Amino acid sequence: MKLFGDSLWSDATANNLEEFSKQLRRTKAEIEKSVLFIEDKHYTELTILLNFFSEYLLGKSKLIDYQQNLEGFDHQTVMSMINNNLDKKTQYETLIRQIRASLKNQLKG
C-alpha cells in the first residue's frame, strides 16, 4: 500500500489512482481473510491505517478531478488539497512505522 501511495503522491494521475484503489481493495480483503491470525490490537491499528489510506485516496481523487477541470482553477484550493493529502500520507506513514515496531517487539518477546 505504501508503495502505491508513494507512487500516487509523486505522480497524481488517473492510472496511479486506479492502481492505488485496486491495491486498497485487495489489502482490505486480505486483512479480513486473515482476521483470525491478527491480534486485536494490530487489527484495530490496521483498520485505522486503511481509513487513512481511504481518506488519502479520496483526497487524491478530488485533486485529480479538480486539476482536470482547468476552469476556475484556484491555486489556493489546490494547495489546500495537497496539504490535506500530505497530512493523510504522514499519518499512514507514522502508523506503518508504529505497527512495524510493535510487530518486531512481539516477535522478540
pLDDT tens for 22-80 read: 999 999 999 999 888 888 888 898 898 899 889 889 988 988 888 777 666 677 888 88
Q: What's the number of CA atoms in the CB half-sphere (13 Å) around residue 56?
A: 29
Determine the pLDDT at residue 17: 93
| pLDDT value at residue 70 | 64
pLDDT at 71: 63
Q: Which DSSP symbol is given to 13?
A: -
Q: Is the pLDDT of residue 109 over 80?
A: no
Say which amino acid occupies 58: L
What total of structural domains would you count in the chain? 1
Grid coordinates standing for 58? 479520496
pLDDT of 106 above 90: no
Print the domain residue range for 87: 2-108
Please write the tens of the pLDDT for every residue from 7-24. 988 998 999 999 999 999
